[in-house]
Amino acid sequence: MSSTLSNVQYLDRHVAEYNPSPSESIYFGKYPYKIKLKSPVVKKVPGVPFNRSLSSVSSNLREELKDALYHGNITDARIVCSSSNNNYAVYFANYQQFVEILTIFGNAVSECFGPVDSTHWEMLNDNNYNIEVRKKYWYNHYDTKLSILVMISHFAPREHQEYKKEIREYVTELFEDVRMSGTYWSCDLFVRYDEFIELLPFIKLKFDKIKVKYTRCVLKR
């Protein structure tokens, strides 16, 4: 059964030894939990191409994962292998099954992910912004980033720069606590979420030739 707002479980002491981190998203729109497994250790064997040895070890790990899911009667999970480095990730909808596989493959686990509290879970279920997991807030203070992209096709180069300058000046006056950085095409505004949520409508009303991407920070504990 997939996790819902009412039955989700948060990462707890049972996963503390597996390098837990907050989820960046609900993966594939369905799975709140993820396990990352370490790359297989492969020794070079004389006369055997290294890529073939790596492929063989990777295939064995996949079969072990599939076998563990089968014997645990875990049907609502997904195994994904990165084609570039043969790293595996397994995604889960159910917390107990997630913990069960963590326990079985403990030595091979490099990191695990999941919701950490009710605030984080609400953020994961809000499609209005992205989540970035960080060790500290931006500039050690701001928990929200607004990336404002000026749609350059609407302007000649000089008008584009003037429009972006107007955005900067307006935002500086609008927010009490803001920091900015940017490029020719865009500017990033770092603000506190409580102030951002109150003032965002005014920015969107005033500037119709922009696209805004919102990112909220979740701290890794």
Segments making up each domain of the chain, as ranges: 13-127, 144-219
Residue 112 pLDDT grade (very low, low, confident, very high; cuts 50, 70, 90):
very high
Mean pLDDT of 180-208: 81
Structure confidence by residue, pLDDT tens digits, 11-21: 998 899 999 99
- Judge whether 13-127 and 144-219 match in fold: yes
CATH code 3.30.70.3220 for 144-219? yes
DSSP characters over the chain: ----TTT-----GGGGGG-EEE-SS-BTTTB-EEEEEPPPP----TTS-HHHHHHHHHHHHHHHHHHHHHHTT--SEEEEE-TTT--EEEEES-HHHHHHHHHHTGGGEEEEEE--SHHHHHHHT-TTSEEEEESS-BTTTB-EEEEEEE-GGGS-HHHHHHHHHHHHHHHHHH-SSEEEEE-SSEEEEEE-HHHHHHHHHHHHHH--SEEEEEEEEEE--
Q: Regarding beta strands 186-191 and 144-150, do their DSSP bridges make them parallel or antiparallel, or are they unpaired?
A: antiparallel
The pLDDT > 90 percentage for the chain reads 39
Residue 83 pLDDT grade (very low, low, confident, very high; cuts 50, 70, 90):
low
Mean pLDDT of 57-70: 78
CATH number of 13-127: 3.30.70
What pTM was estimated for this model as a whole? 0.77
**Which residue matches tokens 């999941």?**
114
pLDDT for the residue 54: 38
